[in-house]
Amino acid sequence: MNSPLLFHFGVLLVGAVWAGAQNQLAGGGSFITLPVLMLTGMDARAANITSTVALFPGQVTGGWLGRAHASGTASLSLRALTVISLIGGVLGAVLLLLTPSQVFARMVPWLVLFATAAFAWGSFFRKAPHEGGGARPLGPVSAGAVQMGIAIYGGYFGGGIGFLMMAALALSGVPVRAAASTKNMLAGVMNFTAVLIFLVSGEVRWLAMTVAMVGALAGSWLGAHMLRRVNERALRFVVVGIGIALTIGLFHGGF
């Protein structure tokens, strides 16, 4: 293995550790792995697929640990939300594989811009729902349609899905703590079907994925131990800053 390649994989390992820790602390880890994987020479679609597979084990761990607090909405059971997320994840993954690499590369700046805006909104502008009051919760059709849309987006790209689901679950009347656990579980569910499809798609770059997965798992462990020591609000500012820089770089062809 030549020196430039070793350097690229060293950067990927460090970036994946950062991404794994960031996902535990504030979310937005794909903002790190996507550009780092693209810097190793991958096209945008392959980098997105490889990033999704690499970050998946850490995502499942988080969803599993919080599963006891997950719940359905007033109009849809947790089982129904799970089925919707499974189907949406499949549709999103298939849609991504049907999108030509060149087309996806042109879409990525807009997808990252949307994900950054969703992250910023969820971090700094979304108001916590008041339990027991407020607007009438979403009905079963509306709640199901919203979750299906988020699941398709999650299987296709995935940036910002945590905050999109938090908003949707809040609109469905789910308390904040239960919504946080539910969105972690459903994010793992929708990516489960997407990852299964990606694994047999021939698009995963296995060596890079393995390096990133090892780093992300180590980062997830590190992040779990840092939860009480890191200023989460400051970290969210960092994530938004990274998203803005990444968006500008992608629009100007810097990756």
Tens digits of residue pLDDT in 8-53? 889 999 999 988 888 777 677 888 898 899 888 899 899 999 999 9
Confidence bin at 255 (pLDDT 50/70/90): low
Average pLDDT value for residue range 69-78: 83
pLDDT above 90: percentage of residues in the chain: 31
CB-CB contact of 119 with 157 (8 Å)? no
Tell me which of 187 and 208 has the higher pLDDT. 208
CB-CB contact of 69 with 193 (8 Å)? no
**Residue 205 in this model has a pLDDT that exceeds 90:** yes
Tell me which of 132 and 121 has the higher pLDDT. 121
How far is residue 35's CA from residue 246's CA, in Å, rounded to a whole number? 8
Average pLDDT value for residue range 133-142: 69
**Residue 131 in this model has a pLDDT that exceeds 50:** no
In angstroms, how far apart are the furthest CA atoms of the chain?
A: 62
Model pLDDT for residues 103-130, shown as the tens digit of each residue: 998 898 898 888 888 778 766 776 655 5
**Residue 132 in this model has a pLDDT that exceeds 50:** no
Q: Please count the CA atoms within 13 angstroms of the CA of 38 that sit on its side-chain side.
A: 19
**Residue 135 in this model has a pLDDT that exceeds 60:** no
The pLDDT of residue 196: 93
Model pLDDT for residues 148-184, shown as the tens digit of each residue: 999 999 899 987 787 788 778 877 878 767 777 788 7
- Mean pLDDT across the chain, nearest whole number? 83
The pLDDT of residue 226: 75
pLDDT above 70: percentage of residues in the chain: 89
φ/ψ (deg, to 5) at 137: -60, 155
Name residue 228's amino acid: R
Domain housing 28: 3-251
**Residue 133 in this model has a pLDDT that exceeds 50:** no
Dihedral Cα 33, 35, 37, 41, nearest 10 deg: 180
Dihedral Cα 183, 188, 194, 198, nearest 10 deg: 140
The pLDDT of residue 251: 84
Model pLDDT for residues 1-13, shown as the tens digit of each residue: 567 778 888 999 9
**Residue 208 in this model has a pLDDT that exceeds 60:** yes
Work out how many domains the chain is built from and give that number.
Answer: 1
Contacts of 197 (CB under 8 A, 6+ apart): 90, 93, 94, 97
Dihedral Cα 247, 55, 101, 153, nearest 10 deg: -70
